[in-house]
Structure 1
Amino acid sequence: MKRTYLYLIAAGFLAFACGGKPTETTTEVEEVTVQEPEWISLFDGQSFNGWSKYGGGEVGKAWKIQDGAIYLDAKNKANWQEGDGGDIVTNEEFENYHLQVEWKIAPNGNSGIIFFVHEAPEFGYPWMTGPEMQVLDNDGHPDAKIVSHRAGDLYDLIVSAEETVKPVGEWNLAEIIAKEGNLELHLNGVMVVSTTMWTPEWEALVAKSKFKDMPGFGKYKKGKIALQDHGDEVWFRNIRIKKL
């Protein structure tokens, strides 16, 4: 974005106003370029560079790269070995940002995008610290019967203003915009949740939720982004972030 500022040295006007002779007015134009934040890819479509298993170590073998997407191969979970699955997180922590993720879910599937995740030994799962934007088959998974557990909801905290999720098997665009406590969730181009974190109202929301007895939940103002292993097939692609 380029902005132009004009600086006028009105010596001539002032001289004329004071009864003197008009003098030449000088106009100086200075161009100032303001750079917009750039999008940063968090997934290169070919590898798990920048990602790890929550709690440490490499991404489990149940997570695969399929057609340029991160895929949880839950069809074969009966054959999983210990450590094959599990939630995965970015290696980097983020504070103020605009995150975009495309996702699709298998029939009857459940997953989530969890943010402001604090990774520490005392927290066994990302959802013990980070709020979640729900990923769900609303028509098939039993969790959809619970208000605030449907696709696009701020899980167990705030119900979507409207449902814009696409049919199971189709790609959805999820966006999480967090800046200085202001939080917006967008699904397929529509803002479905808007709230402010770390306020008395936020604490009241948490106190009425299933997270009320988790002392670290929703407290951290900087954290990792997690993709949830809920035991169902799920795909994520075009994962990118803009630092605000």
Structure 2
Amino acid sequence: MLSDVHTYSFIHYLGAKPITMKLKAFYFLLSALVLVSCGGEKKDSATETNETTEETPEWVSLFDGETFNGWKTYGQDTMSDSWSIVDGAIACNAGIGEENVGFDIGSLVTTSTYGNFEFELEYKIAKGGNSGIFYHVVESEEYGTDYTTGPEYQVLDDEFSRSEAEPYKMVASNYAMHAPSESKKPNPHMEWNQVKIIYNNGHVEHWLNGEKVLEFEEGSADWLAKKAAGKWANSDTYAKYKEGAFSFQNHGDEVHFRNIRVKELK
């Protein structure tokens, strides 16, 4: 805002000039004031945008479509022959179709670990096939497998399942703990399905093909009761860790994963 002194000087200046000069001077000074004002607002807006961008979590791809960079076989120094890359997707037991070659402890795990996250991918599985997506997996000789520590988002061909029948062991379940909604709509075998898993300070969500099909609180009274009454009753390590790797299970069936990405949550 102009001070009284500036206003007086401006008026005095206008009074000392012919009318044409007065108008030109007036428009010039008015334009200058507008530019200064807009410039300040633009700078503030840009600063605010940058601050917002820095605070927003970013999606990170975990698979480049060509290599196993960022991945390894659980408990092994070399990559298991069961895993390959086919048409830009990670494949387990590619090409075996409906055959099952037997359960293999050689799961595929990320070399990085994550605590709170939003995790997405697409999968397709052979007719009757079984697999799983694990999180908070800790790799050690003591544990031996991913499911010793990591909770599982079940991957299964429900329609022709050879290995599971209980609702809490079907596709999108928190395996052997929580059953997903009956409204879930998995696509048929060897068609792509979209998965999203959210873990945020014990709050867990399972999504399938754009629908949230399961929600629970890890460590709640209900969760503890289910654990005590089920498969993990005698396990001191199941869901023990709040940070760990992601892993894909080799259950002896053909399964493919692609568009794998994660967004870390604070």
TM-score range, shorter chain: 0.7 to 0.9
**What is the distance in 1 between the residues matched to 2:230 and 2:260?**
29
**What is the distance in 2 between the residues matched to 1:143 and 1:196?**
27
- Bigger proportion of residues as strand: 1
- What is the root-mean-square deviation in Å for CA atoms of aligned residues? 2.2
Q: Report which stretch shifted further, 140-149 or 191-200.
A: 140-149
- Bigger proportion of residues as helix: 2
Q: Which runs of 4+ in 1 moved over 4 A?
A: 76-80
**What is the distance in 1 between the residues matched to 2:217 and 2:224?**
10
- Once the two structures are TM-superposed, the CA of residue 85 in structure 1 deviates from its matched residue by 7.1
Per-residue Cα deviation, 1:163-205 (whole angstroms, up to 9, x for no partner): 2211111100111111111111100000111111133332222
**Pair 224,79 (structure 1): closer, same or farther in 2 beyond 3 Å:** closer
Q: Work out which of the residue numbers 132, 136, 141 in structure 1 matches 2:161.
A: 141
**What is the distance in 2 between the residues matched to 1:217 and 1:38?**
29
Q: Report which stretch shifted further, 204-213 or 45-54.
A: 204-213
**What is the distance in 1 between the residues matched to 2:168 and 2:228?**
15
- State the number of aligned residues: 215
Asked whether the 8 Å contact 1:60–1:85 carries over to 2, the reply is no
**What is the distance in 2 between the residues matched to 1:43 and 1:153?**
24
- Structure 1: runs of 5+ lacking an equivalent: 1-27
**Pair 126,79 (structure 1): closer, same or farther in 2 beyond 3 Å:** closer
Q: Normalised by the size of structure 1, how large is the TM-score?
A: 0.82
What letter corresponds to residue 164 of structure 1 in structure 2?
K
- Once the two structures are TM-superposed, the CA of residue 79 in structure 1 deviates from its matched residue by 8.9
Q: Normalised by the size of structure 2, how large is the TM-score?
A: 0.75
Q: Does 1:190 align with 2:190?
A: no
What letter corresponds to residue 215 of structure 1 in structure 2?
D
The percentage of counterpart residues that share the same residue type is 38
**What is the distance in 1 between the residues matched to 2:69 and 2:211?**
31
What letter corresponds to residue 58 of structure 1 in structure 2?
T
Look up the match of 2:75: 55
Look up the match of 2:256: 235
**What is the distance in 1 between the residues matched to 2:217 and 2:241?**
14
What letter corresponds to residue 212 of structure 1 in structure 2?
A
